[in-house]
Amino acid sequence: MGMDQEEEDRGMASLLAARRALRAGVEKSRALSHALARTGPKLGEIQGRLPAMEAAVRPIRAPRDALEGAGENIDRAVGPAAAVLKVFDAVHGLEPPLLASSAVAEDLAGYLAVLSRLEEALRFLSDNCGLASQWLADIVEYLGDRNLADPRFVSDLAEALSHLKNPSANLDGGLLAAALDILEAEFRRLLAEHSAPLAMKEPNSSDPGSITAPRIPASAVHKLSLILDRLAANGRLGTCTAAYAEARGDTVSASLRALGLDYLHNPAEDAQALTPSVERWGQHLEFAVRHLLEAERKLCFAVFERQPEAASSCFAEIASCAGILDFLKFGRAVCDARKDPIKLLRLLDVFDSLSKLRMDFNRLFGGKACVEIQTQTRELVKRVVDGSVEIFEELLVQVELQRNMPPPADGGVPRIVSFVAKYCNQLLGDPYRSVLTQVLTIHRSWRKETFNDKMLVDAVLNIVKALEANFEAWSKAYKDVTLSYLFMMNTHWHFFKHLKGTKLGEILGDEWLREHEQYKDYYSAVFLRESWGTLAPLLSREGIILFSKGRATARDLVKQRLKSFNANFDEMYQKQSSWIISDRDLQQKTCHLVVQAIVPVYRSFMQNYGPLVDQQDVSANKYVKFTAEGLDKMLSTLFMPKPRRAGSFQIKNSNGKITSAMTGLYRSSSTLK
């Protein structure tokens, strides 16, 4: 009984446990049913995405042997690609120091070092990016050919890789271009900082040391050169050349303008008016070439040290911008001036300046880049030589043509005599003698002929002798022979006085000069004898008897002789009061001789016979018109030079027509410089 009760208790407990388990199972089933009802739509969405997920993981589902073969190829391509990616990361790391614009001015060397790393990285990328992308493309093709990946995936990957195959692609995102822009800006800043025009005065040719050449600190030159090298290495040499030429060309041009170069652009047409401008032109050209442009060339080749061709081209632009062609243009304007003898001197001045700078021109402008300067310089030299020779060879002809021209009406020295004497003396003196010889030698060499200094001297002497031969012809043109004597006295004395002690007088010789002095003395004596010397005999004492019976007769003779003297004196004085003696000393000496020929005779005559007339009525004034002192004063003021107009002669062509081509030939010798 006790055993049965125990068994019954155990069965009841089992039944209760089974009931609890069944109840729990029913509740779980009910909860699961509710959960499935809630997640049904999500399962449908997942079911719809299963094909795509299946395609994405398809390589994993590929055969094991196919995956193992692809893995080896993938590993070979991924290694270089990973290296390229590391370099890309390094490039991005260089952005901050390269894009800081102040860094280049504060530490140029450091900036260039960072830029060098960027260039090295870009070279690596340029050399390897294409190869790595090609290997990756091969793997993509491998996967596609073996159907190991979804075709759309393969297509998208192939397109992305195609952008990396071109080595010239913008691999740095424009970082290098931005850095080069910063360098270029620093290049321009350095140029602007050290390219201020020189504050200078008119250059003094007698003190070249006072002229200061433009200077840029060596440190700045070094920086410019370093920057230029990097920019040139990256294809920006042309930009740098243009910037440098503009900055330095403007500086040189502004420095020269400070000297006052307006005369270069508005030259006079008259050679005489050009004289001061030609003198300044020679000084300014020498200053521009030997100081400014010489220094600029040295500076240019220092900055462009490793680009000599670019340096030559850049310097040519600087020289052109500075106005060297304007100097040559002014030289051509001198060649175009109206032709006259003064123009020959100005042309010789131009040639002398160019000749002194010949070696400098060859050194500075000898390259191909300066071909325009070379061409214009050669053309200018040829025009100067041709123009000089043309005028010089025409001088003799023009002097000979003067022979038929009328002499001065006042008996003075023709201006052509003064001009030619001084002009020829100038041609044979320094510096024109050597320059003219050089010009004539060059011109003759073009015609395969020779020329030397002796030939020049002979040519000048022929001009002087032709002028000398004109004296006789001019003297014969006077209707009044007495005036011709005065003219010959004037002219021979002028020749003697103005050539004695000169280079031309030395060449002509003392004997030649003494002949002219003797001619002066001869014509002076003849002039006095044939003019004023004829008055003294009119006061002859012959027939004048002072005793009482002959007193009336004596009075009449005295009146007649005084009347005759007065009439002849008035006529001669009136006529000769318009004549001149050009030389002051000769004028005073001649007047003294005239006084000595007249006044003592008149004084003696009046002392002896004047009382005969004075005793008469007021009509005596008709006979006694002068006192001895009055005559002395009147005669002492004769032959005074008067202001004369230029152009008392005209130049004639060989055909007899008047021309103004050589009007300077008549100017007074004071116009010569």
The pLDDT tens digits of the residues spanning 461-492 come to 999 999 999 999 999 999 999 999 999 999 99
pLDDT at 214 (0 to 100): 52
Max Cα-Cα span within the chain: 241
**What residue spans of 165-236 are helical by DSSP H?**
175-193, 218-233
Q: Is pLDDT of 60 > 50?
A: no
Q: Is the distance from CB of 554 to CB of 541 less than 8 angstroms?
A: no
Strand pairing report for 651-652 and 658-659:
antiparallel
Among 111-125, 129-143, 402-416, 524-538, name the one with the lowest average pLDDT. Answer: 129-143
DSSP code string of 102-166: HHHHH-HHHHHHHHHHHHHHHHHHHHHHHHHHHHHHHHHHHHHHTT-S-HHHHHHHHHHHHTTS-
Return phi, psi of residue 652, to 5°. Answer: -115, 145
Task: Work out the average pLDDT over 495-517.
Answer: 92
Question: For all residues of the chain together, what is the average pLDDT?
Answer: 79
Among 73-82, 173-182, 643-652, name the one with the lowest average pLDDT. Answer: 643-652
- By the 10 Å C-beta count (0-12 exposed, 13-18 middle, 19+ buried), 483 is classed as buried
CA atoms of 256 and 10, how far apart (whole Å): 130
The SS3 call for residue 615 is coil
Task: Work out the average pLDDT over 176-193.
Answer: 87
* 421 closest CA partner among 669, 651, 650: 669
pLDDT at 31 (0 to 100): 57
How many other CB atoms are there within 10 angstroms of residue 307's CB atom? 19
Q: Is pLDDT of 538 > 50?
A: yes
Neighbouring residues of 114: CB distance < 8 A, sequence distance ≥ 6: 94, 97, 98
Among 151-165, 470-484, 575-589, name the one with the lowest average pLDDT. Answer: 151-165
pTM of the model: 0.73
Token couple for 494: 């002028």
Query: What are the domain boundaries of the chain?
Result: 14-61, 64-166, 179-200+216-398
For the chain, how are helix, strand and coil distributed in percent, rounded to 5?
75, 0, 20
How far is C-alpha 57 from the geometric centre of its chain's CA atoms? 82
pLDDT band at residue 608, thresholds of 50, 70 and 90? Answer: confident
pLDDT at 69 (0 to 100): 60
pLDDT at 583 (0 to 100): 92
pLDDT at 41 (0 to 100): 57
Between residues 149 and 641, which one has the greater pLDDT?
641
Between residues 535 and 114, which one has the greater pLDDT?
535
Q: Is pLDDT of 203 > 70?
A: no
CATH of domain 179-200+216-398: 1.20.1280.170
* 398 closest CA partner among 665, 660, 655, 671: 665
Residue 203: is the preceding peptide bond cis (ω within 30°)?
no
Residue 579 has what DSSP assignment? Answer: -
Q: Is pLDDT of 673 > 50?
A: no
Q: Is the dihedral of CA 271, 276, 278, 279 positive or negative?
A: positive
How many other CB atoms are there within 10 angstroms of residue 219's CB atom? 9
Q: Is pLDDT of 76 > 60?
A: no
pLDDT at 647 (0 to 100): 39
pLDDT (tens digit, 9 = 90+) per residue, 358-385? 999 999 999 899 999 999 999 999 999 9
Task: Work out the average pLDDT over 550-565.
Answer: 84
pLDDT at 209 (0 to 100): 40
Task: Work out the average pLDDT over 62-78.
Answer: 58
CA atoms of 639 and 578, how far apart (whole Å): 7
Between residues 122 and 391, which one has the greater pLDDT?
391
pLDDT band at residue 53, thresholds of 50, 70 and 90? Answer: very low
Q: How far is CA 506 from CA 291, 416, 433, 500, in A?
A: 40, 21, 15, 7
pLDDT (tens digit, 9 = 90+) per residue, 220-260? 999 999 999 989 988 899 999 999 999 999 988 888 888 88
CA atoms of 595 and 275, how far apart (whole Å): 46
CA atoms of 593 and 576, how far apart (whole Å): 15
pLDDT (tens digit, 9 = 90+) per residue, 278-296? 999 999 999 999 989 999 9
Q: Is pLDDT of 504 > 50?
A: yes
pLDDT at 106 (0 to 100): 80
Task: Work out the average pLDDT over 34-49.
Answer: 51
Between residues 278 and 128, which one has the greater pLDDT?
278
Q: Is pLDDT of 179 > 60?
A: yes
* 425 closest CA partner among 457, 472, 447: 457
pLDDT at 36 (0 to 100): 46
pLDDT at 113 (0 to 100): 79
The SS3 call for residue 149 is coil
pLDDT at 322 (0 to 100): 86
pLDDT at 268 (0 to 100): 85
Indicate left, alpha or beta for 174 from its phi (over 0: left) and psi (-120 to 50: alpha). Answer: left
pLDDT at 154 (0 to 100): 62
pLDDT band at residue 5, thresholds of 50, 70 and 90? Answer: low
Q: Is pLDDT of 442 > 90?
A: yes
pLDDT at 555 (0 to 100): 81
